[in-house]
Amino acid sequence: MTSDASATPVPASSPSADRLVVRLKRAEGQLRGVQRMIAEGAPCEDVLTQLAAVKAAVDQVGLHLISERLRTCSQSGEEGCTEELEGALATLLRFAALAR
């Protein structure tokens, strides 16, 4: 497999990219909140709940990127799409393993 799902970037000015950036900024704010909670000695359960929310937000961005690339490749009929799909699936499996 010479190709990877990350080889084709999301267009920087697309509505999809804008939504992903908003999601990531929201997750960034949540993560700052988690840092503040820890510094202030918040209950463990509350901190873990917020960490789970941050993780879910970041996971959703990753899944969106992978699924969008798979969709784009399959709809475009690009030459080499099979290799691209194989690379994207490998990336998806790595991502899923990291998300556990």
pLDDT tens, residue by residue, 33-81: 999 999 999 999 999 999 999 988 888 888 888 788 777 777 777 676 7
> 1-38 as b/e, with b when 16 or more CB fall inside 10 Å?
eebbbeebebeeeeeeeeebeeeeeebeebbeebeebe
Identify the CATH class of 12-99: mainly alpha
**Does the pTM exceed 0.85?**
no
pLDDT score of 13: 60
- Average pLDDT along the chain: 80
| Residue ranges of domains in the chain | 12-99
